[in-house]
Structures are given as structure tokens and as C-alpha cells.
Structure 1
Amino acid sequence: MKLHNAMWPGLVGKEPGTDHPPISLDRMLEMTAAAEVGGRRFDGIDLFLFHPHIDPDASDDDLRAMADKIAGAGLKVGSMVAPVWPGTVGGSAFGSQDDRKNFVLAVEKSCRIGGILRDHGVRDCGLIRIDSAGSVADWAKDPAGNTRKIAETWREAGKIAEQHGERLAAEGEICWGGMHSWKAVLDTLEATAMPEVVGFQADIAHTYLYLMGYNAPEAALLQEGYSDEEFWSAYKTLTDALRPWTNDFHVAQNDGSVHGTGSHDKTGRHCPADDPAGKLEIARCSTYWLQDAAARGIRHICWDGCMFPNDILERQQTWNTILATMIEVDEAF
């Protein structure tokens, strides 16, 4: 399995002029390329298609120049995060007609970029990542109607993706309406009804909160103080339900707390791979999701550590530890 590092930890939750400013794509590439454990390195990166890393409307020449830089670092490109949220290119998948039109436009722009990178040769795996781009509170005003709207928007985006030879993966986070619980995810994907094109992106830090029922207590599979036996039984229920839809995968760690920044309100807090407060046996948890991964088109896995403090992100040892964890996952399944 190819091992990728996400570039968006340099952007998500970062604000210019503060003590946690954005970290450039060049710097993220530098630290990724420098990581090495036992002679093994990262194979590639996953990209966030928005400023300041990438202009969604960048020219073909600018995109090829970026591809040259990535390839020159000995890396490939895998999955890409489409700028589907309000304030970027897109809008809520269950919002106004303009919002939903812009959501599809964000996917279309991402497909264009993906095609250029494929033609260049720097991209040979991965898909385009989306979510519902709307809050749980807004979704809850009309659960059935808003789930229907998300499914309709995703189908339109899926048609665009299919025309470009792409697939979409909806990232499961409790902050997104219609995706805030494992049962809501199933309802939304089943309503979309494009299993070969529109699937699920599982992040083991975020999906841990599905078990605990944050934002959806009625869907909780565990209660605080759970035993080890109860955890693995619940984890099997969760992964058996969502694994058939899973077409993209994030390795991560979670300390069980809930955190948010901006539009990512009350979502899972990623923490360092070796954090003693981590709730997850990362390699073992990953095997539950990665059974028959190749049959679902998964050719790479990606580390996600967004919302890490900059001082942690800027330490080279952080990336070596992450790479070592990724290798453990690769060797475990």
C-alpha cells in the first residue's frame, strides 16, 4: 500500500498574523520528503485544492509547474480535497440552488486539476474528497428533506466526476449535516445510490466519535467507561456497516475530545500518533477498515493530522513518527 501525507494540516485552523499561521505547500513538501524510517519514505501526498496552497482556477502551466515540484521531491499525488465549502468555491450541498450549483462547480474544478496532474504523470491513484458542507443544526431543520438535497447534489457531482474518470469520497465528520453519525452517513449514501462513484472516506480519528454518539446520541454504540471487549464489538458493527462504502482512508489518532475551528465545529481532535492520551490502537483499528481494500479501489492510505499546533508540525521528528505509524498499518493488514 502506498503511504501518503496530507498537505492540509498546514492550512486547516491556521490564520495569518497569529501564532499559528498557514504553512506553505513548499514547506509541507519539504518535511514530507525528508521523513525516513528504516529506509522507507512517504510515497506521495494528498492535496487541498484551495488558497494559499493551490488556486482552484490556476492555469494549466501553473499546475504543471506544481506537479514538477512535487515529482522533483520524489512524491506522487493521490486524493484531493475539493473546495466545496461556503467561502471557498462551493456552498452547502443542502443549501440554496446557488449553493448546490457552486458545490458541483467545486467538484468540476477539482476534476480539471486532477486530470492535468494525471496527464503529467504525478498522479496515479486517489479520488476527490467532499462532504456535505453544511452544519448539523441547519440539516436538523428538515432531516429528510435535507438528506434528499444532499443526495441530489452528490449525484450531480458524481456525474461530473464519472465523466472525468474520477470518484468521490464523502468524509465522515460529526460537524457535517447528514454525515454527523454513522447511520446518517448510510442514509445519505444509500439515497445518493451511486456506490461505484460516490463512497465514504473513513478517518479513524473522526469515526471514533461515531461510536460515542456525539451530535447523534441515538446512534451511539458505546458509553463512557466502555470495556475493551465492548469497544471491539462496537468497532466491528461500525466498520461492517461503513466499510462496503469506504473508498478512501485516513490514518490518525484521537484523544476522545471534541474540538472545532471555524466551519469545522465540534469535530474530532487529531492528536500525535504517539500521544499517550490516544484512544485508538491505530494499526489494529485500520485493519477493520482495510479488509479487501484493493477490491474497493484503495491503493494508498493517508495520514491526517489537521489542527496540530505549528510547533509540532514544524518538527521533523513528528513526520518520522507518523511515517513509522503508517508503516505499522501497512504491515498489519
Structure 2
Amino acid sequence: MSDSHPNNFPKLHNAAWPGVVGKGEGSEPAIDLDTILDLTAAAEVDGIKFDGVDLFLFAPHVDIDATDDDLKALADKVKARGLSIGSVVAPVWPPTGGGSAMDEGEGRTKFLGQVRKATHIAKRLREFGVRPYGVVRFDSACGPSDWAQDPAGNQAKIAQTFKEAGKIAADAGERLAAEGEICWGGMHSWRTMVDLLERVGEPERVGFQADMAHTLLYTLGENAPQDRILPVGYDWSDPAVLDDALRTLTAALRPWTIDFHVAQNDATVFGSGSHDHTGRHCQATDPNGKLDIPRHAGFWLRDEKGQLTKAFKHICWDGCMFPNAVMMKPQTWNDILAKMIAVRDAHGWAE
């Protein structure tokens, strides 16, 4: 907070999961959490630093079966670097011990078991004084092609699983945010995402997590051509057309949004691991990025009248699948932090 940057909210967080997502097993080695924390804490632009990190509850960063002693040590190491913890990601997918939200049997049981563990960790981190805000992020842990075999039936099954997950979260004093990414069945288009949230019908328990890179793909109808908003053949030469598309998108999903990722996207898709034809994160300064990050963040952070929603206390940068050499450069994190500061300058507030 300074004369040139008067806002101190929302708080600015870096995501830790780029150190593990897409790493290992034939790829580059994971970057350990201590290194990610050090890189985050070292970044500084105009005297401003990151306020915290968001975490993936997955080893080697944070084991979903972490003990209280493990979590206390985690809280201490984060606080020692002058950082807080915000939102955390529940590993609900089958390869990580979870199960498909479409599976009414063992899959649902395993899915809910991971939600229970994640919300317990989130609660304990609050109690340890390192997590003043944030939600628990999750998704349906199933693909669009499987969902499409019975859209109505599968949507109802996912909604029921999410309802039960919301009750678990509420018991821990937590909220869940469903990730808007086109690789998740029932969440792969903006219309199916809104439908799913309405079926759950408990916004105080289950809301939406918007990522600027992933939600851009909603406007292109990737994995759901019938729900495309941008015209077919749009060549990005007319920014007003993109703005209109984003207004349609955010009008539908903003009321549900309780967690937000600042990100860049070049309008291409890719597949990696269990991700099915999903959005590509770009570096903050990528010349091929299609988003004006500070301006387009405002479509999510302000309502249709231009008023700040203040729906969450922090925002997080998300950039996955970058080479380790890029992630180990201090300039990478300063560039990211500069974009985050620009978003807060344009759409933040002072407390």
C-alpha cells in the first residue's frame, strides 16, 4: 500500500501448484513447496510483495493425510516468510484417492472422503492463524465425454454429490468453489456450469471459482460448441466483440463466483495427463495472450453497474505447465506480481 498503489484489498496470492501440476513421471521434477514459497516471498514490485499463497493438498507439497503437527509446521513456515494461505485445492480425482462425482457408489464415497479431509485441513489452517480467508476448490473429477453419455442423469448425480460435499464443508465452517474448467464433466460449458450450481442451489455452501484463462475457453465453446458465445471464425481483431462475450459470460457466473484466478490465455487448448482438451495458461507478459488482464478482470470483480462486488478477500495468480527454468527465474514472479498489482489498482479497495 503506497501513494501510487492505495488499495490493500483484495490480497494478492501466488499459486503453489504450478510446482507439481504436470511435473514428475516422465516430465520435469516437481519444485518443492519451500522453493515456491521462497520465490513468492522474494518477488517485489514498487515496494509491494505477495500477501500469500494458495495450495494444492497433494504430496509432495501438502499431504491430504497430513497430521496436525504437519499442518502446524506448514503454518509456521508460511508465516515465517510473511505470507498467508488462502484457498486450497481438494484432490478429488481417482488417481489421487478420490472418485468421480458421477459415480453414486464407491466413487462418490471416495470423492466425499477427500472433500472431508480437505475441509478439515482448511479449518485447521484457519485455527493455526495462517489462513484468514479463502475457500476449498474442487471439481467433478470426470470428463465431458463420459458425462455426455447421459447428460441429464449424470448432471443430477454430480449435483447430488456436490450437495453432500457442501454439507461436509459447512460442518467445517468452509465453502466450496467449483472450478470452471472445460475438462470437467458437467462443468465444461458455462451453461452446464450455471445449471449445475442452480441444481445444487446452495450458494452459501457451493459457489464458482473463475479462472480468467479457463473461462475464456467457455466463450469459444470448446467441448460444448452449442454454447459458444464468440462468433465462429472470430480472429480477435475486434476487442469489442470479446468484451460483449465476456459480459454475457460473467453476467451468468459472477453471482456465483467466490474465488478468482488472474491468468492469461492465448485461446488455444491442449491436453495433459487427465485433463481433457483444456485451457492453456500463458505467462503474464505473453504477447500471444488474448486478455487485457487488468481490464478483463474487472468483468468478474465489478457488477453490471460497475460497482465492486468485494465477493472475496484475495485473488490468486494461476499459471500451470511452465518449464522449471521459467519458474525459477525471479523476473517471472515479478512480472506476475506487476499484473496482480495492476488488477488491484483498477478494481481494489482500501481497508
TM-score (norm 1): 0.97
Q: Contact 1:236–1:288 (CA<8 Å) still a contact in 2?
A: yes
| 2:100 maps to which of 87, 92, 97 | 92
Where do 1:167-182 residues align within 5 Å? 167-182=175-190
Report the 3-state secondary structure (helix = DSSP H, G, I; strand = E; otherwise coil) of the residue aligned with 2:279. strand
Question: Which region of structure 1 is more displaced relative to structure 2, 155-164 or 90-99?
Answer: 90-99
Q: State the partner residue of 2:43.
A: 35
Equivalent-residue separation in structure 1 for 2:311 and 2:250 (angstroms):
17
Change (3 A) 1:39 1:178: same
| 1:6 maps to which of 5, 15, 26 | 15
Where do 1:171-320 residues align within 5 Å? 171-222=179-230, 223=232, 224-226=234-236, 227-291=238-302, 297-320=311-334
Q: Contact 1:16–1:22 (CA<8 Å) still a contact in 2?
A: no
Shift of 1:225: 2.1
Structure 1: segments with no counterpart, 5+ residues: none
Q: For residues 123-179 of structure 1, give each alpha carbon's deviation from its aligned partner in whole angstroms, at most 9, with x where no partner exists.
A: 100000001110011000000011001100000000010111100000011100001
Structure 2: segments with no counterpart, 5+ residues: 1-9
Q: Contact 2:302–2:309 (CA<8 Å) still a contact in 1?
A: no
Change (3 A) 1:44 1:294: farther
Letter in 1 for 2:11: K
How many matched pairs? 332
Letter in 2 for 1:278: G
| 1:23 maps to which of 31, 40, 45 | 31
TM-score (norm 2): 0.92
Shift of 1:252: 0.3
Question: Which region of structure 1 is more displaced relative to structure 2, 128-137 or 92-101?
Answer: 92-101
Equivalent-residue separation in structure 2 for 1:265 and 1:31 (angstroms):
30
Shift of 1:297: 3.7
Q: For residues 166-220 of structure 1, give each alpha carbon's deviation from its aligned partner in whole angstroms, at most 9, with x where no partner exists.
A: 0000001110000111001011111111111101000000000000011111000
Q: For residues 23-74 of structure 1, give each alpha carbon's deviation from its aligned partner in whole angstroms, at most 9, with x where no partner exists.
A: 1001100100000001100000000001111111111011101110010011
Equivalent-residue separation in structure 1 for 2:228 and 2:281 (angstroms):
20
Equivalent-residue separation in structure 1 for 2:309 and 2:217 (angstroms):
27
Q: Contact 2:220–2:228 (CA<8 Å) still a contact in 1?
A: yes
- TM-align CA RMSD: 1.3
Report the 3-state secondary structure (helix = DSSP H, G, I; strand = E; otherwise coil) of the residue aligned with 2:95. coil
Q: Contact 2:104–2:157 (CA<8 Å) still a contact in 1?
A: no
Where do 1:47-196 residues align within 5 Å? 47-196=55-204
Report the 3-state secondary structure (helix = DSSP H, G, I; strand = E; otherwise coil) of the residue aligned with 1:87. helix
Shift of 1:296: 6.1
Identity, % of aligned pairs?
Answer: 58
Letter in 1 for 2:153: G
Q: Contact 1:33–1:42 (CA<8 Å) still a contact in 2?
A: yes
Equivalent-residue separation in structure 2 for 1:95 and 1:191 (angstroms):
17
Shift of 1:17: 5.6
Change (3 A) 1:86 1:296: farther
Equivalent-residue separation in structure 1 for 2:102 and 2:24 (angstroms):
28
Equivalent-residue separation in structure 2 for 1:29 and 1:268 (angstroms):
25
